[in-house]
Chain A
Amino acid sequence: MAQRSVLIVDDDISVARVLVRVFEKAGFSAQAAHDGEQALERLHAARYDAMICDIQMPRMDGRQLCQQLVTQGPYFPSCVVIATSRTELAERTWLAEYPRVTLVEKPIAPRRLVQLLTRRLESEARAADSGEAQVA
Chain B
Amino acid sequence: MSESHAEPLIRSLPGSCHALLQDLARALQAPLAIRDRDGRVVFATAGRATSERVAVTAPIRNEESVLGELVAYGEAARLQPLVTSLAAELGPRLAQERVLDAMTDRLAQAYDEINLLYRFGRVLRPDESFPASAEKLLSETAELLERRLLVFCQADSSITAAGAELEMTPDLRWLTGSRSALDGVHADFSRQLREAGPRGANRFGGRIVSPDGPIDYVVAPVRARDQVIGYVGAFRAVTDEPFETGELRLLECLAQELSNTATTRDLLRELREMLFSTVRGLVAAIDAKDEYTRGHSERVFHVSVKIGEALGLSHEELQILSWAALLHDVGKIAIQRSILNKPARLTDDEYRTIQSHPVRGCKVLEPIPQLRNVLPTIRHHHERYDGRGYPDGLAGEAIPRLARIIAVADAYDAITSTRAYREARTTEYAREQIETGAGSQFDPEVARVFLELMRTGQLDQPGDATAARPAA
B144 interface contact, C-beta 8 A = yes
Contact call A18/B15, Cβ cutoff below 8 A: no
Complex interface: chain A residues within 8 A of B100 (CB): 17
B246 interface contact, C-beta 8 A = yes
Complex interface: chain B residues within 8 A of A14 (CB): 107
Give the number of residue pairs across the A-B interface with Cβ within 8 Å. 40
Contact partner, B115, options A30, A107, A115, Cβ 8 Å: A107
A92 interface contact, C-beta 8 A = no
Cα distance A21–B97 in the bound complex, in angstroms: 12
CB-CB under 8 A for A111 and B105, given A20-B15, A24-B15? no
Q: How far is the CB of B254 from chain A (nearest CB, A)?
A: 14
B146 interface contact, C-beta 8 A = yes
Complex interface: chain B residues within 8 A of A22 (CB): 108
Cα distance A17–B111 in the bound complex, in angstroms: 12
Complex interface: chain B residues within 8 A of A115 (CB): 146, 165
Complex interface: chain A residues within 8 A of B144 (CB): 109, 111-112
Q: How many residues of A contact B (CB 8 A)?
A: 16
Contact call B101/A21, Cβ cutoff below 8 A: yes
Q: How many residues of B contact A (CB 8 A)?
A: 18
A110 interface contact, C-beta 8 A = yes
Majority secondary structure, B binding face: helix
Within 8 A of A (CB), among B112-157: 112, 114-116, 118, 143-144, 146
Contact call B111/A107, Cβ cutoff below 8 A: yes
B227 interface contact, C-beta 8 A = no
B104 interface contact, C-beta 8 A = yes
Cα distance A128–B347 in the bound complex, in angstroms: 93
CB-CB under 8 A for A18 and B111, given A111-B144, A111-B246? yes
Contact call A111/B112, Cβ cutoff below 8 A: yes
Q: How far is the CB of B145 from chain A (nearest CB, A)?
A: 9
Contact call A108/B15, Cβ cutoff below 8 A: no
Contact call A112/B143, Cβ cutoff below 8 A: yes
Q: How far is the CB of B270 from chain A (nearest CB, A)?
A: 35
Query: Per-residue CB proximity of A98-132 to B under 8 Å, as 1/0?
Result: 00000000011111100100000000000000000
Q: Which of B111, B115, B146 gathers the greatest number of chain A CB atoms within 10 Å?
A: B111
Q: How far is the CB of A20 from chain B (nearest CB, A)?
A: 7
Q: How far is the CB of A120 from chain B (nearest CB, A)?
A: 13
Contact call B111/A110, Cβ cutoff below 8 A: yes
Within 8 A of A (CB), among B141-200: 143-144, 146, 165
Complex interface: chain B residues within 8 A of A111 (CB): 108, 112, 144, 246
CB-CB under 8 A for A107 and B118, given A20-B15, A112-B143, A112-B144? yes
Complex interface: chain B residues within 8 A of A21 (CB): 101, 104-105, 108
A21: nearest chain-B partner, CB-CB: B104
B113: nearest chain-A partner, CB-CB: A109
Cα distance A111–B253 in the bound complex, in angstroms: 15
* A-B pairs with beta carbons under 8 Å apart, 22 shown: A17-B100, A18-B104, A18-B108, A18-B111, A20-B15, A21-B104, A21-B105, A24-B15, A107-B114, A107-B115, A107-B118, A108-B111, A108-B115, A109-B115, A109-B116, A109-B144, A110-B108, A111-B108, A111-B112, A112-B144, A115-B146, A115-B165
Which A residues form the contact surface with B (CB < 8 A)? 14-15, 17-18, 20-22, 24, 30, 107-112, 115
